[in-house]
Amino acid sequence: MNFYKTKIFIFLLIFLSSITYGETNICLTDFQEKLPKESINKIKEMRLKASSHCLECGTTSCKLKKWDSANQTNQTICNRLFCKPTKTSKTLFASNENHGLGITQVNFTYSINSSGRIEDVVLTEVRGEMDRKRALVYLKDNLKLLRYEPIAIEGKTYSLKDLKGSTGWNIMEKGM
């Protein structure tokens, strides 16, 4: 059973990496990775220093700056500061709905509101077993479990708009 799960994990990793690297500036790919609680204050400090370098802000919202391939390091640093959740769920990619079995991979756009919650999820690509409607419901069910540290600059909180994500899942029968 563990061997089977390992094979599926390796397949998904290869499957996802080919799509992820084809897209520019994917903000969310790892739904289990989060900022450690003990580093949140340090991250807030670093965000203040990096906000003008990483973000383009208007009156109520910000966007991540676009970086060319020569500035991948800047993109990576900015994504780590502004794209990692502070809270995830151990039951991620679980649902009470009957979505069907098999592997599905999605690319999507989304925003993080000024309270640190994901909103405005739009699927841009769906591949695999699930149809578009079911994939969107399943993705939203799981994204609502993530929480982010709100972006605060000079005492004002901002939303983060026009983010891109990519992920996949494999729904198997119980007992496999």
pLDDT of 43-77, one tens digit each?
Answer: 888 988 999 999 999 999 999 999 888 988 999 89
What is residue 25's three-state secondary structure?
coil
Joined together, the tokens standing for residue 159 give: 């939303």
Backbone Cα Rg of the chain: 17
pTM of the model: 0.78
As a whole number of angstroms, the distance between CA 11 and CA 7 comes to 6
At residue 171, the pLDDT reads: 79
The whole-number average pLDDT for the span 25-37 is 74
The whole-number average pLDDT for the span 69-88 is 88
Residue 93 has pLDDT above 80, yes or no: no
Contact 105/95 with Cβ under 8 angstroms? no
As a whole number of angstroms, the distance between CA 62 and CA 51 comes to 9
Contact 76/64 with Cβ under 8 angstroms? no
